[in-house]
C-alpha cells in the first residue's frame, strides 16, 4: 500500500471522531413524557410483555434488526492472529457495511477468550440480545466447531462470514468466470491455496454447484493435501486426493482455476504461465492478494483476474453477500441460513452482472460502462440492486426450505435502505 493510502486510512479511522459507527435514537427523548415512556415507569410495560412472551422482544426492542459481528481476532483478514482488540477496525467495518448496504443495525464484539469453548459460552450467553450473529475472522479449524455448536444451541441465525459469505460470492463470481472462459464447472480443475475457514467452505459450495471433488487440489502450508498425509484434521481430510503432486508448482500445471484464500504474494507469474488456456485466478487474500493483478495480467492475456480488493476490477469479497443475506434472513425471521439460501444468494449475485449496470454505479467507479465480461464478472458492492435481488432470493429460499417463521414482507423486493 502506498504511504499516502496508509496515512489516509489512519486519518479516515481517527478523524473527525474515532471509529466508524455510532448509535442513533429511533424515538423522541426530549420531554418528561418521552422519558416516562422510554425509561421509568413506561419501560416496565414491554419488560413484562417480554417476560411473558420472549417473541415480543421482536416487537418492543431493536432485536429483530440487530446483528452482532463477533470475533476473537484469530484470523484477521490475511494478517493472522493479532488478537481481539486489533480486530475491532475490521469488525466495525463489517457493521458499517451492514448498515450502509442493507439497513441492518450492527454492533461489533471482540472476545478475549482462552479456548473455543470459552468463546462459545460467551456468545451463547449474549445471543438472545440479537436477531442474528455474524462470526468473523476466527481461524480454522476452531471456527468449524464454534459455528456448529452455536448453530445448534442458538435460536437465531449464526453465520461464519469467512466461510459462507465468501463461498457464496466466490461461487457467484466463478459461475460467471467459467461461462466467459467457455468452461464447464463439472470439468474444470481447481487449485485452492489455503485450507482454512474460507478455502474449505468455498470448495464445498463449489462442489454443491457442480465441481467434481476429484478435480480439486487443495494446499496448506505443507503443500498438497493428499491421501498419504497423516497430519490432516477432519476438515482438510475431506479434500485429500490420491496424487503424486506435492507443491503448488506441481499442482498449478494445466489448472483451469487458482483460488487463493491463504496469504500475500504466494503465487508467482511463472506459475500463472503454467495454467491451462483461458485460466481463472481468484487471488482473494486481503489486504494483499496471492498475486497482484498487474503481475498476472502481464504474463497472460487470456486470463480472468480477480481479488478481494475494491481497487481492482472483479472484487470477489463477502461484502457482496453478508449484508443482503442477513437482510433476507431477518425479514422472514429465519431460524437458520441453510444451503438453499446460500445457493439462492450466489445465483442472484451472479445474475446481476449480466444485466444493465445502473448509472450510479458507473458514476461511483468513474467509468462509462460496465458490461459482463472478463473485467466485470460480478456486481460492484455499491450496486443498489443487490439489496432487492439478494434479500428476496434469500428470504424466498428460507420460506421454500421451511426455515422462515414469517411471510415475505409486503415491501419486498426492497428498493433502498430507506424502505426498511
Ligand atoms: N475475499 C474475501 O471475501 C475473503 C478473503 N479471505 C482471505 O482468505 C485468507 C484466509 O482466511 P481464513 O480462511 O479466514 O483464515 P484461516 O486462518 O482459517 O486459514 C488460513 C489458511 O491459509 C493457509 N496458509 C497460510 N499461509 C500459507 C502459505 N504460505 N501456503 C499455503 N497455505 C497457507 C493456512 O495453512 P495451514 O492450515 O497450514 O495453517 C490455512 O489453511 C485471508 O487472507 C483472508 O483475507 C477470507 C475471507 C473472505
Ligand atoms: C473479506 C474478509 O472477510 C476477509 O478477508 O477476512
Ligand atoms: Mg473476514
At 192, phi and psi to the nearest 5? -110, 115
Residue 367: is the preceding peptide bond cis (ω within 30°)? no
Kindly list the protein residues that place their beta carbon closer than 5 angstroms to ligand 3, a single-atom ion.
137, 162
Using DSSP bridges, classify how beta strands 223-224 and 216-220 pair: parallel, antiparallel or unpaired.
antiparallel
Answer yes or no: is the C-beta of 134 below 6 A from any ligand 2 atom: no
Give the pLDDT of residue 175.
Answer: 98
Which ligand 2 atom is nearest residue 137's CA? 6
In this structure, what C-alpha cell is assigned to residue 270? 511463472
| H/E run at residue 157 | none
pTM of model > 0.90: yes
Report cis status (omega within 30 of 0) of the bond before 41. yes
Determine the atom of ligand 1 nearest the C-alpha atom of 264. 43
149 lines ligand 2 (CB under 6 A): no
Q: Is the CB of 257 under 6 A from ligand 1?
A: no
Residues with catalytic roles: 39, 94
> Atom 5 in ligand 2: which residue has the minimum CA distance?
77
Residue whose CA lies nearest to ligand 2 atom number 6:
77
Q: Would the CB of 256 count as within 6 Å of ligand 2?
A: no
Place of cell 432485536: 63
Helix (H, G, I), strand (E, B) or coil at 419: helix
Q: Is there a binding annotation on residue 162? A: yes
Determine the pLDDT at residue 420: 87
| pLDDT at residue 1, rounded to an integer | 83
Q: Reduce the secondary structure of 223-274 to three states and give it as a string.
A: EECECCCCCCCHHHHCCCECCCCCCHHHHHCCCCEEEECCCCCCCCHHHHHC
The gap between the terminal CA atoms of the chain, to the nearest Å, is: 37
Ligand 3 centroid, distance to 368 Cα (angstroms): 32
Compute the distance between CA of residue 133 and CA of residue 349 in angstroms, rounded to an integer.
22
272: nearest Cα among 286, 246, 290:
290
Q: Relative to the CA of 200, which ligand 1 atom is closest?
A: 13
User: pLDDT 10s per residue in the chain (420 long)?
Assistant: 889 999 999 999 999 999 999 999 999 999 999 999 999 999 999 999 999 999 999 999 999 999 999 999 999 999 999 999 999 999 999 999 999 999 999 999 999 999 999 999 999 999 999 999 999 999 999 999 999 999 999 999 999 999 999 999 999 999 999 999 999 999 999 999 999 999 999 999 999 999 999 999 999 999 999 999 999 999 999 999 999 999 999 999 999 999 999 999 999 999 999 999 999 999 999 999 999 999 999 999 999 999 999 999 999 999 999 999 999 999 999 999 999 999 999 999 999 999 999 999 999 999 999 999 999 999 999 999 999 999 999 999 999 999 999 999 999 999 999 988
Residue 179: count other Cβ atoms within 10 Å of its Cβ: 15
224 in contact with ligand 1, CB cutoff 6 A: no
Q: How far is CA 284 from CA 85, 213, 269, 312, 314, in A?
A: 24, 21, 16, 12, 10
One-character DSSP codes across 337-396: --HHHHHHHHHHHHHHTTSPPPHHHHHHHT-S---SBTTBSS--TT-THHHHHHHHHHHH
Q: How distant, in Å, are the alpha carbons of 370, 381, 389 from that of 359?
A: 10, 14, 18
How far, in Å, is the centroid of ligand 2 from the Cα of 411? 31
Find out whether 137 is annotated in a ligand binding site.
Answer: yes
Are residues 290 and 266 in contact, defined by beta-carbon separation less than 8 angstroms?
A: yes
Instruction: Say if ligand 2 is within 6 A of residue 308 CB.
Output: yes
Amino acid at each position: 500500500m502506498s504511504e499516502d493510502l496508509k496515512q489516509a486510512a489512519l486519518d479516515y479511522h481517527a478523524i473527525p471522531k474515532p471509529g466508524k459507527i455510532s448509535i442513533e435514537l429511533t424515538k423522541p427523548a426530549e420531554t418528561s413524557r418521552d422519558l416516562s415512556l422510554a425509561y421509568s415507569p413506561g419501560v416496565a410495560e414491554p419488560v413484562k410483555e417480554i417476560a411473558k412472551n420472549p417473541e415480543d422482544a421482536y416487537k418492543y426492542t431493536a432485536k429483530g434488526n440487530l446483528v452482532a459481528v463477533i470475533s476473537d481476532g484469530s484470523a484477521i483478514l490475511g494478517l493472522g492472529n493479532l488478537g481481539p482488540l486489533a480486530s475491532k477496525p475490521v469488525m466495525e467495518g463489517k457493521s458499517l457495511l451492514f448498515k450502509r448496504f442493507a439497513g441492518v443495525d450492527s454492533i461489533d464484539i471482540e472476545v478475549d477468550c482462552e479456548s473455543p469453548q470459552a468463546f462459545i459460552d460467551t456468545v451463547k450467553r449474549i445471543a438472545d440480545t440479537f436477531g442474528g450473529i455474524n462470526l468473523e475472522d476466527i481461524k480454522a479449524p476452531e471456527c468449524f466447531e464454534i459455528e456448529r455448536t452455536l448453530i445448534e444451541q442458538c435460536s437465531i441465525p449464526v453465520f461464519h462470514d469467512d466461510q459462507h459469505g465468501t463461498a457464496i460470492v466466490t461461487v457467484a463470481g466463478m459461475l460467471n468466470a467459467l461461462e466467459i472462459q467457455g468452461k464447464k464447472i463439472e470439468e474444470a480443475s481447481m487449485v485452492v491455496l489455503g485450507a482454512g475457514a474460507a478455502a474449505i467452505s468455498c470448495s464445498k459450495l463449489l462442489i454443491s454447484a457442480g465441481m467434481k471433488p476429484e478435480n480439486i487440489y487443495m494446499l496448506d502450508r505443507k503443500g498438497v493435501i493428499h491421501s498419504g498425509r497423516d497430519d490432516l484434521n477432519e476438515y482438510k481430510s475431506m479434500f485429500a486426493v490420491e496424487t503424486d503432486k506435492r507443491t503448488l508448482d506441481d499442482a498449478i500445471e494445466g489448472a483451469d482455476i487458482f483460488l487463493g484464500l491463504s496469504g500475500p504474494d504466494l503465487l508467482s507469474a511463472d506459475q500463472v504461465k503454467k495454467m491451462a488456456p483461458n485460466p481463472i485466478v481468484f487471488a482473494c487474500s486481503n489486504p494483499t492478494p496471492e498475486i497482484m493483478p498487474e503481475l498476472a495480467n502481464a504474463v497472460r492475456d487470456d486470463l480472468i483476474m480477480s481479488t478481494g480488493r475494491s481497487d481492482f476490477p472483479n472484487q470477489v469479497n463477502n461484502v457482496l453477500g453478508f449484508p443482503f443475506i442477513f437482510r433476507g434472513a431477518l425479514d422472514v425471521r429465519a431460524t437458520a441460513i441453510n444451503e438453499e439460501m446460500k445457493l439462492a444468494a450466489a445465483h442472484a449475485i451472479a445474475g446481476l452482472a449480466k444485466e444493465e449496470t445502473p448509472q450510479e454505479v458507473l458514476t461511483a467507479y468513474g467509468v462509462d460502462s460496465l458490461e459482463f465480461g472478463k473485467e466485470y464478472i460480478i456486481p460492484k458492492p455499491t450496486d443498489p440492486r443487490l439489496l432487492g435481488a439478494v434479500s428476496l432470493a434469500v428470504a424466498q429460499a428460507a420460506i421454500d426450505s421451511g426455515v422462515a417463521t414469517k411471510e415475505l414482507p409486503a415491501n419486498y423486493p426492497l428498493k433502498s435502505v430507506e424502505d426498511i
